[in-house]
Chains A and B, each alone.
Chain A
Amino acid sequence: MDQFWLFLGRFHPLAVHLPIGIFVLLAVLELTGLLARRQRFSQWPRLSDSQRDHILLFAALMAMATAFMGWLLARDGSYDPVLINRHRNLGLLVAALAVILVVVQRARWSRVYATLLAVTLVVITAAGHIGGEITHGSGYLTQQLPAFMRRWMGQPPVKVARPRAIPSDPRQAVIYADVIHPLLEQRCVGCHGPAKSNGQLRYDTWEQMLRGGKNGAVFKAGDASASRMIKRLHLPLDEKEHMPPKGKPQLTDDEIALLEWWIDRGASVDKKVADVEIAPAVAEILEARFAPPAPPLPPRATVLARAAALSEKLGIIIRPMTVEGPWLEANARLQSTRFGDAQLDELAALAPVLQWLDLGETAVTDAGLGHLAGMKNLQRLHLDRTAITDTGLTRLSGLTKLEYLNLYGTAIGDPGLVALQSLPRLRSIYLWKTHATAAAAKELGKGRVDQRKIQRWRDQIADLQGKIGQERFDANLGETLPPPPPPTPPVPMAAPAPAAAGEAPAKNPAVLATQAK
C-alpha cells in the first residue's frame, strides 16, 4: 500500500500547476473585471458571482488534492527537512485559504474576498518557489541572472564555485578536491546533496560522504570492487539499483576509472596525484582533464566560406575533410614556389580547423613555420623538399596532434629531431635525404609505442576469446558406435582431407616451403 501512496504522491509536481494556474487566471479576470467598470474597457471580461462560485469550488478541490499528494510525497523523506517543512506548511495554508475563499464568496463578502485572494496569491508564490528549490536545488532561479541585473538589484556578484585554483600540473592536484569532488558534484549531488538526499546519502561534503547513506558506507577505502557506489555504477543500466538512474546523465568510463583508482589507492581526502601510484590509463585520463579547454571552433559554414575565398586567392586546394565538422585539408604543393611565407600567413586564418597540410616543394622557410603555431589540430604535415632547417622544427613544438611529418629532402638534422621530442602523437616521420641519423631517429621513437597499452589490449582480446569459447550450445544424445569406414573413393581428393585444414597460409609456421615435383 505504501508503494501506491508514493505512486500517487509523485503526481504532486504535475497536479500542483493546476490550482496555481486557476488562481492566477482568477486574479487576472478580477482585474479585467475591475477595469471593465469603466466605459473605455467595457468589453473586457468580467466574472459573474455564479462563475466565481464554480471556479473557486474547483480550485479548492484541486488545492486540497494537491496538498494531499504533496504530503504523501514528503513522507518519502528524501528531501531537505527544513525546506520540506516550510513548503508543507505553506501548501496546507493555500488549501485552507482556498476553502475559506469558497465560504467567503458564498457569503458575498466581496471586500474580504478580494483581500483573501491577494493573500492567497502571495502564499502560492512563496510555496511554489520553495517547491522549485526542493526539486532543482536552491539558487536555481537566480543562478543565470545576468551580471548587470544582479548589480541593478544590489546583489553581490556570484562567485564561480571553485574551492581552489586548479593547478596546471596534474601531479600537484589534490585527488579528492580537484578530481573526485568536482566529478561527484557534477554527477551525483543533484540527488544526493543538500536539496535532495535520496537514500539519506549526500556527496556534497567529505564528511557527508564518509557518513554514507541509509545502507551504510558507500565506499571501502583500498578496495573499489567491494565499494557499494562502484558496484552500483557497474550494474546494468536497466537494473533498479543502477546509479545514476536510467535517464539521468551517466558517468563515463573514464570517470568510473578515476573513482576506482582513487578508492583503490586509499580514498584519501588530502593526498595529491603525485603521492599515489598512477596506472598509465589513469595518467592519460588525468592529463586530458587538466588540459586547458580548447577554444571553440568556428561553425562549418563560416569555415567553408573563408576556405573558398582563400582557395581562390592563393590558388591552392582546400577541401573539407568530411561531410560534417569544420575540418579541412589544404594542399599548396601545386603552387610550388609561388607559395611562400606570406601565403602561409594568409592560410593561417584557417589555423584551428586544418587537419592535413601539404607544403611540400613550396617556398616556405623557417620563419614561415611560425605561422603553424595556431594549427593545434594538425595531424599531417608535408614539408618535404623545402628550405627549412632545424631552426624551423623548433616552431612545431605546439602541434600536439601531429601524427605524420614528412621532412624528406630538407636540410634538417639530429638537433631538429630533438626539438620534435615534445610532439606526443607523432607516429611516422620521413627523413630520407636529410642529415638525420638513424640513432637520432631511434631516440625520437623511444617510448612512442606504449607496450603496456598493447599488453592491456592483448589481455582484452584473450578475455573476449574466452567469452567466444563459452558462448555455445551442446546437445548430448549419448554415445553411438561409429559406422563402418566407407570404401576408398575412386578419386583420392573427392573429399577434402582433414590435414588440408592446417595448410592455410600465414597460419602454420611449420610449412616453410613447398616444392612441386
Chain B
Amino acid sequence: MNPFTDPHFFRAQQQAWSRRTFLGKSAQALGALALGSLINPRLLAGTAQAGAGAWPGILPAPHFPPRAKRVIHLCMSGGPSHLETFDPKPMLNKLHGQPFPESFTKGQQLAQLQNTVLLARGSTYGFSRCGLSGQMISDVLPYTQSIADDICIIRSMHTEQINHDPAHAFMNTGSAIKGRPSMGSWLLYGLGTETENLPGFVVLMSNGPGPDQPVSASQWSAGFLPSRFQGVQFQSKGAPVHYVGNPEGVCQSTQRQVIDEIAQLNGYQADASLDPEVQTRVAQYELAFKMQTSVPDLADLSKEPQSILDMYGIKTPGDGSFASNCLLARRLAERGTRFIQLYHRGWDHHADLDNRTKLVAGLVDQPSAALIKDLKQRGMLDDTLVLWGGEFGRTPMGQGTGRDHHINAFSVWMAGGGIKPGISWGSTDELGYKYLEDGQQMHVHDLHATMLATFGIDHTKLIYRFQGRDFRLTDVQGKVAKGILA
C-alpha cells in the first residue's frame, strides 16, 4: 500500500516464480513462501486485500528531484509531415518539382517510394515566427502558433521503424518487437498512480478524416510487466466504460459484499500461487467497483462551462472527437491518472497531402492548444508533461500528391512538466531529410530517457528482469537531452 515498506514487492514475486523456484516448489513450497514473506511480509498478511488499492510504484523514491507527475501523450497517428507543421525548409521549396539530390537518398531505406523517380516536394504551407520566442510554426496550425512560447519544438526526432505498427511499438516501448511494456506501463510500474478510483494509464481514440491506419491494442500493453500496468482504453463516444452501472435490483452495498467475498477467495489463491496476475484480478475488481462512481463523474461534461467547451472547440461533449478527448484528458489528469494517451488517426497522407493536412489540423490544432492553455490556467502545466507527435515523419520527396513514411527526421513538441518552454531543439539538414548530429539529435530512446528524467527517474535504473535479462524502456541506449530540461 505504501512506498516505504513495499519496495521489493515484485522482486519477491519474481523470485518466488522464477523457473528454479517453480521446479523446486513441489519440494520446498513452505520454504519459498517463507522466503517470500520474509522479503515482503505483506505477501502473507492481509490476504483479502492483497493487490487491492493503488500501487505505490517500485521506486522507493525518485532518483533526483522530479518535475512532472503525469503525461498526456497526444499521439498523431499516421505520421504527420514535419515539413507541413514544424520544420520550414526554404531550400526544399526552391527545389520543388526537381529531382531530389541523390547524395541524400542513395542506399537509404524507403517505404513505398522504393525504385521510383524521387522529386523534391516543397512545403504546402507557409511558416510564421510566433510568440516572443519566435519559433517557426506552420500557418496550418494557427492555434498551436498561439502557444509557441509554452512549447519546446524538437525537430531532430528519428526512429528505426518505417511502417506504422512497428513504429508505434517503437515509440511506445522502445522496441519494434511486441511484448515489451509501453511507456505508460513503465511509469505506472515505477511510480504508481495517484488515484485509487481510476486506472493509472488510460487510452482514448479519435479519428478522421478519411481512411485511417488502425492502431492495435498491443500499443498500450504492459508486455512482460504484470497486466495491472497495462493501459485501459476508454470509449470516446457515450459512456467511457460499458456496463459500469449496476443492473436492476443490485445496490452498491450488495456489490461491495460481492467484491469483498471474491477478493477473499482470490486472496487464498494469491497465497497459494504468488501469481501477480491474481493480484491484478483483485486490484481490477476493486478498481472496477470504485469506477462505478468515478467514471460517471469523470464523463459528466455537463458541469464544464460553455467557455471551456468553446476553447477546445467541442461541438457535442462526449462525441468521440479529439477535442472532446482532450477535455477528458484534462479531467483524467486532474483526478490523478498518471499516463493519458490520446490517439488521433488521420495523419497518413500518402496522397492529397494539402487538403488532408488542413482537414486533420482543423480537428487537432485547436484542442491541442486549448489543452495547454487550460492546464496552464489551472496551474497544472508545471507538473504535466504533454507530448505531441507521431510515430515518424514524412519524406521531403513527393509521392504523387502526398508524402511517404520517413524515419530520418520528424518533429514533435513537448510542453510543461519541467521542459523549457519556447525553445527549439535540434534541426534537420537543409532539405529536411535527416536530423543533424549537432548534439541535439533526438532518437526515440533519447526522448524516452528525457521523459523519464522529468519524473526524476534515471532511465538506466528503472529495470525489470524478465527471462534472465534486465529490461528497460530505453533498452541499452538513451541519452537525456539536458538542454531542454528546465
Contacts and interface: CB of A to CB of B under 8 A. Distances in A.
A513 B382 contact: no
Given A503-B90, A506-B136, A323 B378 contact: no
B483 interface: no
A517 B63 CA distance: 52
Contact of B62 (A312, A323, A516): A323
B377 interface: yes
A256 interface: no
A384 B379 contact: yes
Contacts of A139: none
Given A494-B101, A516-B93, A404 B195 contact: no
A406 B377 CA distance: 10
Interface stretch (A113-121, A300-308, A414-422, A467-475): A300-308
A502 B462 CA distance: 41
Interface string A490-508: 0111101100100111100
| B3, B61, B136, B195, most chain A CB atoms within 10 A | B61
A514 interface: yes
A321 B101 contact: no
A496 B430 contact: yes
Contacts of A437: none
B61 A322 contact: yes
A74 to B, nearest CB: 54
Contacts of B139: 513
A429 B415 CA distance: 18
A516 B122 contact: yes
A317 B377 CA distance: 25
Contacts of B102: 491, 494
Contacts of A333: 194, 336
A505 B135 CA distance: 7
Contacts of B124: 516
Nearest to A409: B378
A404 B93 CA distance: 46
A75 B363 CA distance: 90
A312 B5 CA distance: 11
A321 B65 contact: yes
B355 interface: no
Interface string A125-150: 00000000000000000000000000
A385 to B, nearest CB: 9
A312 B1 contact: yes
A333 B54 CA distance: 14
A503 B91 contact: yes
A321 B66 contact: yes
Contacts of B377: 408, 430, 432
B25 interface: no
Given A505-B155, A506-B134, A506-B136, A432 B378 contact: yes
Given A311-B2, A334-B336, A408-B379, A516 B427 contact: no
Given A512-B128, A516-B124, A334 B382 contact: no
Nearest to A312: B2
B424 A505 contact: yes
Interface string A305-319: 101100110000111
Contacts of B95: 492-493
A321 B61 contact: yes
Interface string A378-408: 0010101000000000000000000010101
Nearest to A320: B61
A516 B126 CA distance: 7
Interface string B94-106: 0110110111000
A168 interface: no
Interface string B331-375: 000001000000000000000000000000000000000000000
Interface residues of A, number: 44
Interface residues on B, range: 35 or more
B220 interface: no
Contact of A515 (B103, B126, B429): B126
Contact of B61 (A319, A380, A503): A319
B2 A308 contact: yes
A514 B84 CA distance: 12
A511 B128 contact: no
Contacts of B54: 317
A305 B3 CA distance: 11
Nearest to A331: B194
Given A503-B91, A509-B129, A319 B3 contact: yes
A480 B345 CA distance: 60
A406 B124 CA distance: 43
A412 to B, nearest CB: 14
A493 B101 contact: yes
Contacts of A172: none
A497 B91 contact: yes
Contacts of A493: 91, 95, 98, 101, 120, 431
B429 A516 contact: no
Contacts of A307: 4
Contacts of A505: 87-88, 127, 135-136, 155, 424, 427
B61 A500 contact: no
B4 A304 contact: yes
B456 interface: yes
B196 interface: yes
A132 B115 CA distance: 89
B430 A500 contact: yes
Contacts of B179: none
B466 interface: no
Contacts of B127: 505, 513-514
B133 interface: yes
B22 interface: no
Contacts of B195: 334
Contact of B133 (A506, A509, A513, A517): A506
A308 B135 contact: no
Interface string B135-179: 110010000000000000001000000000000000000000000
Contacts of B98: 492-493
A494 B122 contact: no
A319 B429 CA distance: 45
A89 interface: no
A318 B57 CA distance: 12
Interface in B52-87: 54, 60-66, 87
Given A307-B4, A493-B95, A406 B379 contact: yes
| A333, A428, A516, most chain B CB atoms within 10 A | A516
A393 to B, nearest CB: 16
Contact of B128 (A384, A491, A497, A513): A513
A252 B379 CA distance: 38
A511 B4 contact: no
Interface in A81-107: none
B123 interface: yes
A184 B125 CA distance: 68
Nearest to B195: A334
A514 B60 CA distance: 52
A492 B135 CA distance: 29
Q: Which 8 A-B pairs have the closest CB atoms?
A: A430-B379, A308-B4, A320-B61, A500-B430, A516-B122, A406-B379, A505-B136, A432-B377
28 contacts: A304-B4, A308-B4, A311-B4, A317-B54, A320-B61, A320-B62, A321-B66, A321-B456, A334-B195, A334-B196, A380-B382, A384-B378, A408-B379, A428-B379, A428-B382, A430-B377, A432-B378, A491-B99, A497-B430, A500-B91, A503-B89, A506-B129, A506-B133, A511-B90, A513-B126, A513-B129, A516-B123, A517-B93
Given A428-B379, A494-B103, 5 more contacts: A320-B3, A334-B195, A428-B382, A505-B127, A512-B129
